Amino acid sequence: MSEYYYISSDVLDLQTVHSILKDDLKLKLSDEARVNIENCRSYLDRKIAADASPVYGINTGFGSLCNIKISGDNLSQLQENLVMSHACGTGETVPNEVVKLMLLLKIQSLSYGHSGVQLATVNRLIDFYNHEVFPIVYTQGSLGASGDLAPLAHLALPLIGKGMVSFEGEVCAAAAVNERFQWDPITLQSKEGLALLNGTQFMSAYGIWCILQSYKLSWLADMIGALSLEAFDGRLEPFNKLIHLIRPHRGQVKTAERILKFTEGSELAVQEKKHVQDPYSFRCIPQVHGASKDALCYVRKVFKTEINSVTDNPNIFENEDMIISGGNFHGQPLALALDFLGISLSELGSISERRTYQLIAGLRGLPAFLVNDPGLNSGLMIPQYTAASIASQNKQLATPASIDSIVSSNGQEDHVSMGANGATKTYRIVENLRSILAIELLNAAQALNFRRPLKTSPVLEDFYAAFVEKVPFVEKDRVLHDDIEATKAFMHSIEFTPEMFQD
């Protein structure tokens, strides 16, 4: 198998991105991409030499300064000034895993030959990616329109030998790392700074990371939900395909099928039930989990389009002999999708917390708080508090960011998407959901012990056995923070499978 992924016009999809990351592939430009970049740059150089007319961002100022003409002698300084002046991010630093995606997606977007960058600039970004030199980028500063200006400026600073990077586990000056690799700073040519700063790669990278995690968490929500259903002595009738075929939302049908697959062969499922119905948090798993699956499918399609697009401005069309200023940097499609994703993940956490509550409530023969000697032992009382707190925070974080807009650049940029804020808060929702599901898994496994000697299905028994090797039964009170963290680590250790990517 090749150790490289070749940047080209081939469609970059979610599973390809996952494979690039999982297999730790290095990047190379395909011959097609190299020719696209070189031809576009050559065309732009000829155009500037032949025609001194003002073209936005190439020989003019930026934003509301777009009407100020810049002399040819200052075009390189103009681009460097742009990068430095726009590097004004603040807040927390972006995780390296997201910065790595930012580099990949920026390289992909520049490779189509509509941005006017030098080949050397793209190759240096590839060097950063391949040597895991990750620019220090900050979470705050982008309005999600005009591109992710501040974050992408920080991504671009090391190209000109400025800013900070994360390298080999340390934060250090980009200039020092450049010196180590004998990389000379890039002298930015006309339009290059704008090509680097315009674009949606901050939002896109966060979105792709969140989508990848969401597919795995969606699968885990079904698996853990099935385990909770069994531990609660739930009924399988609500998962019968006849119910779902008369309301055939794809996610709903898929969830019901998956729960039946997970519970096939269960002794607990076929034992006689004293109750006629289960609470909604169990009975309506297909409807709730399924709606989140359908939302995730929509979001995946939006981001697939985005990461295979050119999102800087202006755009260069060599064959048509045109340079056109437009608005592909505007993050509205991503902003709406990120808000939708955050809402759908928050709901997975909300229903999970309700199942946890039902399990500890002393119902259906289970002891209160799932512990022997309740009273002397508090058991799993307080993890439910924690899940409730996190679920509540997720509901707050799920408030849409895309409904807001604040005028910037002296009114030139008078409607913005706020998709960057949507991206960073969706990242937090993902991490919060992981904790909520971990708490449900801890409770479900604990409750299943009280159903012995009856067994659940072979699939769930295997899942349970692997889990209790890492997090054993809670005989008496202990520090449950450690159990929750161990449960999250267990969930993280589960590798992606093709089934998880199915819509």
Catalytic residues: 56
How far, in Å, CA of 416 to CA of 409, rounded?
11
Cα gap 344→282, rounded to integer Å: 17
In order, the DSSP letters of 317-383 are ETTTTEEE---TT--HHHHHHHHHHHHHHHHHHHHHHHHHHHHHTT-TTPPGGG-SSBTTB-TTHHH
Backbone phi, psi, residue 89, to 5°:
-70, 160
Alpha helices in 75-148 (DSSP H): 75-86, 96-110, 119-130
What is the number of other CB atoms lying within 10 angstroms of the CB of residue 248?
Answer: 9
Rg, Å, the chain Cα set: 26
24/47 Cα distance (integer angstroms): 40
Closest CA to 194 of 98, 75, 303: 75
Q: Residue 91, SS3? A: strand
CA distance 224 to 433: 13
Token pair recorded at residue 337? 């999708």
